[in-house]
């Protein structure tokens, strides 16, 4: 699933191709990918409008067209990119936005969980997930105190807390595992038990991991591609995610995969000691990403600079 770095990379690659362009025609091939309003109104409101800006909040892409706000959420496998009309139509193509330079902004989604909301000036119909989003982890307003307040008093695992978009926006399975490894915190630790020092470390790690992943244009694990159809380069820098059975880059202990917060969770049992009395269900590791390149050199963990 695309997380903050992947969605940000899509935003940056779409920006020069889409902003300033007039939307001539909206072709809806799969109506259920239009969440709000009805597909006919969606099409009528958008046709003729001009893209002014593209912003990102958490994992949402926000396209401004005058008073209109087009909200896209890619969910599991959504893919937004610009291509020429001559490019063969993809198998899971659901929406085509025809731009006034002849190019097409296409929405492809194999699993069909993602899609669009179109909001008018009153912003009625905003998806609840967007309305309730927590702070942007790369913004200056995300301080160690903000993270501490989000985790304080919570019995839930720190992994579940970081996946909760209302507490921190934009993190998903990959970067939560990476940030917790970087901070040397076990994913099953109850969120409210982290010390002030651990919260400060985790805060720094979340920012470093995300900033590095944005710089590397995201992680292509299976389906993710950017707005030009390219893969991200972050995969080979991941320290624990998808590396069950491999040696920890810090201490050589075998990286484990267990279920935490109902998600496959990767950690080093030595660097990230388990909290007492927590039983963990092992998850059998699948083979890693097909055709991935061999790791050249294990970088010291916790750096990401």
Query: With 0-12 CB in 10 A as exposed, 13-18 as middle and 19+ as buried, what is 252?
Result: exposed
Q: Minimal distance in Å, beta carbon 268 to Zn ion?
A: 3
Beta pairing partners, 171: none
- Report the nearest approach of Zn ion to the CB of residue 249 (Å): 8
Catalytic-role residue among 59, 106, 184, 225: 59
**Range 114-173, binding Zn ion (CB under 5 A):** none
The minimum distance between CB 259 and Zn ion, in angstroms, equals: 20
**From the centroid of its chain, how far is CA 84?**
26
Of residues 65, 182, 205, 250, which one binds Zn ion by CB under 5 A?
250
Q: Which is nearer to Zn ion, 188 or 268 (CB)?
A: 268
Question: Which is the catalytic residue, given 3, 6, 8, 178?
Answer: 3
Minimum distance between the CB of residue 177 and Zn ion, rounded to whole angstroms? 13
Question: Does 244 engage in binding with Zn ion (CB under 5 A)?
Answer: no
Closest CA to 291 of 239, 215, 236, 210: 236
Query: Which of 18, 161, 202, 248 lies at the binding interface for Zn ion (CB under 5 A)?
Result: 248
CA 135 to CA 142: how far, in whole Å? Answer: 6
Question: Contact 257/265 with Cβ under 8 angstroms?
Answer: yes
Spell out the alpha helix ranges (H) of 165-289. Answer: 173-182, 196-215
Q: Compare residues 37 and 269 and give the one whose CB is closer to Zn ion.
A: 269
- Total of chain residues touching Zn ion, rule CB under 5 A: 7
- Which of 222/253 has CB closer to Zn ion? 253
- Of 235, 233, 298, 305, the residue nearest 268 (C-alpha): 298
Under rule CB under 5 A, residue 270 binds Zn ion: yes
Q: List C-alpha distances in Å: 81 to 63, 74, 78, 231.
A: 14, 12, 10, 12
Which of 152, 251, 259, 298 is close enough to bind Zn ion by CB under 5 A? 251
Answer whether 75's CB lies under 8 Å from 151's CB.
no
- The answer to whether 33 and 115 have CB atoms below 8 angstroms apart is yes
Nearer to Zn ion, 23 or 250 (CB): 250
CB of 270 to Zn ion, least distance (A): 5
Q: Rule CB under 5 A: which residues touch Zn ion?
A: 248, 250-251, 253, 268, 270-271
Q: Which residues are catalytically annotated?
A: 2-3, 59, 263
């Amino acid at each position: 699933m695309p997380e903050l770095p992947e969605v940000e990379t899509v935003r940056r690659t779409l920006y020069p191709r889409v902003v300033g362009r007039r939307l001539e025609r909206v072709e809806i091939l799969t109506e259920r990918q239009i969440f709000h309003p009805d597909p006919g109104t969606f099409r009528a409101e958008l046709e003729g409008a001009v893209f002014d800006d593209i912003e990102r909040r958490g994992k949402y892409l926000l396209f401004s067209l005058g008073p209109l706000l087009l909200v896209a959420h890619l969910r599991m496998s959504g893919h937004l990119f610009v291509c020429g009309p001559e490019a063969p139509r993809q198998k899971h193509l659901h929406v085509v936005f025809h731009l006034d330079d002849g190019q097409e902004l296409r929405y492809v989604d194999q699993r069909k969980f993602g899609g669009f909301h179109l909001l008018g000036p009153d912003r009625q119909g905003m998806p609840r997930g967007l309305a309730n989003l927590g702070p942007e982890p790369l913004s200056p307003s995300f301080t160690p105190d903000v993270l501490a307040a989000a985790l304080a008093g919570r019995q839930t695992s720190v992994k579940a807390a970081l996946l909760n978009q209302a507490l921190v926006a934009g993190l998903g399975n990959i970067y939560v595992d990476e940030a917790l490894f970087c901070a040397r915190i076990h994913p099953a630790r109850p969120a409210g038990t982290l010390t002030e020092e651990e919260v400060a470390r985790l805060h720094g790690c979340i920012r470093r991991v995300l900033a590095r992943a944005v710089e590397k244009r995201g992680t292509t694990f299976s389906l993710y591609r950017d707005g030009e159809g390219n893969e991200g380069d972050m995969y080979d820098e991941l320290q624990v995610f998808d590396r069950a059975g491999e040696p920890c880059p810090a201490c050589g202990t075998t990286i484990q995969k267990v279920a935490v917060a109902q998600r496959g969770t990767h950690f080093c049992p030595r660097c990230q000691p388990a909290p007492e009395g927590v039983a963990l269900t092992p998850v059998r590791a699948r083979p890693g990403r097909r055709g991935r390149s061999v790791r050249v050199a294990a970088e010291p963990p916790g750096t990401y600079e």
